[in-house]
Amino acid sequence: MAEATQFVKEINDAGFDEAVRGSHIVLVDCWAPWCGPCRILAPTIEALAKDYGDRVKFYKLNTDENPKVTTQFRIRSIPTLFIFVDGKLADTIIGAVPRQYIEGKLKALLPQ
């Protein structure tokens, strides 16, 4: 369930910078296949992407396969969610948190 889907696209080290600069608001879900909490969070990210996909771009980054981004952002725990606004890191969420928490962070960054 953690792989790319219709609403959440997969990115890698090579395409990361372009992806986070490509939209006003971007959420990147950093995960790994062996991570239980990542699998628990995956349906939440998918649902948020379905509901907010017209205003926020959603991506998944496999930390096992992308050491450059993992090192650059010092990812020590997964799942880690990064929210970028206009290409700049605006917020970091660590752990399998409830949908309402992530949604609140996104709503605070969306234009009113």
The C-alpha R_g of the chain, in whole angstroms, comes to 12
- Catalytic hit among 19, 26, 27, 35: 35
Task: Check if 38 is active-site.
Answer: yes
Residue 30 bears catalytic tag: no
Helices (H), the chain: 16-21, 36-52, 67-72, 99-109
- Which candidate in 28, 38, 75, 81 is catalytic? 38
Quote the Cα angle for 73-36-58, to 5°: 50
Catalytic residues: 35, 38
